[in-house]
Chain A
Amino acid sequence: MTAVTKPDDHPLDLEAALAESRVEELLATLDAELVGLIPVKTRIREIAALLLVEKLRGQAGLSAGSPSLHMSFTGNPGTGKTTVALRMAEILHRLGYVRKGHLVAVTRDDLVGQYIGHTAPKTKEVLKRAMGGVLFIDEAYFLYRPENERDYGQEAIEILLQVMENQRDDLVVILAGYKDRMVRFFQSNPGMSSRIAHHVDFPDYGADELEAIAGLMLDAMQYRLSADAERAFGDYIARRRSQPNFANARSIRNALDRARLRQANRLFARRGAALSRDDLMTIEADDILASRVFDETADDPSAPADA
């Protein structure tokens, strides 16, 4: 009861706590480097605020039970789930919620064994590696295979649940995958669903957001688009989005990689001519227009769409 009798006039400095955690700059880089994703950023801000307030509550002698921070990231491929998970680990580390702040990314193969007695040690090993940081389980719904009742995935889920519950201070688990399949996974595993406090949905990117992402990627790779190429790329994005297997930012990265390939080829073809630094950096419209996306005749849906 000492907590209640503590004098109220002792000021608690939220600003100082914020400055000390240096989380603000991390959130700023998050804003600068991740395009769009408004609901995700809002949720991250909320979590950061909650953790800071909990810290202050602890300093003020109020009860500060560490909140459960297991999360589920749902969204289509290429919407930035892994990238955000990496940032999340860093943010939670700065806020002092996890001790080390590393990210261990795994899939079903890393958790589930191949014979009886193989799964438990395997899952535990992964959990031990992730302790002090964040465990990111990609396509988590593969852990549960309802069609095979003797599937070892169930065993892995049980061990996960146990550690998620008992060692909440030691690690944060993030499950990721497509939205509809994750919803079904949670329906068939109510225990898992109830232990996950934050369900974050990653929306698909709009055309302008994809262009902004392309701009950031090109900056990082030290390339640039000529004015014509920029227009062509806008056209490319519009066409590519309507095609099957569109994977948001990942498709954009692949498209840029192939444009670089064609640019290199083009520069190579005109051997003998002098090359300027500018030539090496610039991607022309032709490099983009050569993509199969623009080929109206090739309307074969079975062909790999990313070519």
Chain B
Amino acid sequence: MRLTQGTFSFLPDLTDDQISAQIEYCLEQGWAMSIEHTDDPHPRNTYWEMYGNPMFDLHDASGVMMELKAAREKFPRQYIKLNAFDSTRGVESLRLSFIVHRPDHEPGFELVRHEAEGRHIRYTIRAYATERPEGERYG
């Protein structure tokens, strides 16, 4: 099951040229790019691992693409996303965030039914990938 989180996630995967063009747009707006990765696809997992420091004062997308390439080589079986941070006073948060790399096989989520007090049933989801410990998922 294809993970749909962040911008562009309902579109086909972006090509490197398209990613580069998106980065170029972000840099033009004066936003700082950063790279994050994770192997826990749960939608409530908002805090992904940082890959390197956020990249401030860049002028050209090739610097980000260089880091992205290195990140893909290091974590070929994880999700990798690009974030664009707007430091304008009063905003100071992410403007754009999109997945740029995903594992070859995404097993998706299980619906878990929890029988609660009385005849209540509580529902939750659990990623099949998280059956294994961190770092060994999507193996």
Give the B-binding residues of A (Cβ under 8 A).
99-100, 102, 121, 124-125, 127-129, 131-133, 167, 170-171
Contact A100 B60 (CB under 8 A): yes
- Tell yes or no: B14 within 8 A of A by CB: no
Can you list 8 residue pairs at the A/B interface with Cβ under 8 Å? A125-B53, A125-B55, A128-B63, A129-B57, A131-B59, A132-B62, A132-B63, A171-B62
> In the bound complex, how far is the Cα of B61 from the Cα of A133, in angstroms?
12
Contact A129 B59 (CB under 8 A): yes
- Tell yes or no: B67 within 8 A of A by CB: yes
Which residue of A102, A121, A125, A170 contacts B62 across the interface (Cβ within 8 Å)? A170
Contact B53 A102 (CB under 8 A): no
Q: Interface extent on B, as a size class?
A: 10 to 19
> In the bound complex, how far is the Cα of B52 from the Cα of A167, in angstroms?
20
Q: Provide the B57-82 mask, 1 if CB < 8 A to any CB of A, else 0.
A: 11111111011000000000000000
For the complex of A and B, the 10 pairs showing the least CB-CB separation, nearest first, are A132-B60, A128-B63, A170-B62, A131-B63, A131-B60, A131-B62, A100-B59, A132-B59, A129-B57, A100-B60
Known: A129-B59, A129-B63, A131-B63. 6 other contacts (CB 8 A): A121-B52, A121-B53, A125-B55, A128-B64, A131-B59, A170-B66
Minimum distance in angstroms from B55 CB to a CB of chain A = 6
> In the bound complex, how far is the Cα of B96 from the Cα of A3, in angstroms?
44
Contact A131 B53 (CB under 8 A): no
Which residues of chain B are near A171, meaning CB under 8 Å?
Answer: 62
Contact A133 B53 (CB under 8 A): no
Which residues of chain A are near B64, meaning CB under 8 Å?
Answer: 128
Contact A131 B58 (CB under 8 A): yes
Which residues of chain B are near A121, meaning CB under 8 Å?
Answer: 52-53
> In the bound complex, how far is the Cα of B75 from the Cα of A236, in angstroms?
65
Minimum distance in angstroms from A62 CB to a CB of chain B = 25
Minimum distance in angstroms from A86 CB to a CB of chain B = 15
Which residues of chain B are near A128, meaning CB under 8 Å?
Answer: 55, 58, 63-64, 66-67
Which residues of chain A are near B62, meaning CB under 8 Å?
Answer: 99, 131-132, 167, 170-171
8 A Cβ contacts from B24-39 to A: none
Contact B59 A167 (CB under 8 A): no
Which residue of B52, B60, B66, B67 contacts A133 across the interface (Cβ within 8 Å)? B60
Which residues of chain B are near A100, meaning CB under 8 Å?
Answer: 59-60
Known: A121-B52, A121-B53. A127 touches B60 (CB 8 A): no
Which residue of A99, A129, A167 contacts B58 across the interface (Cβ within 8 Å)? A129
**Of B52, B60, B61, B66, most A-chain CB atoms within 10 Å:** B60
> In the bound complex, how far is the Cα of B71 from the Cα of A185, in angstroms?
34
> In the bound complex, how far is the Cα of B62 from the Cα of A279, in angstroms?
54
- Nearest B residue to A98 via CB reads B60
> In the bound complex, how far is the Cα of B57 from the Cα of A132, in angstroms?
12
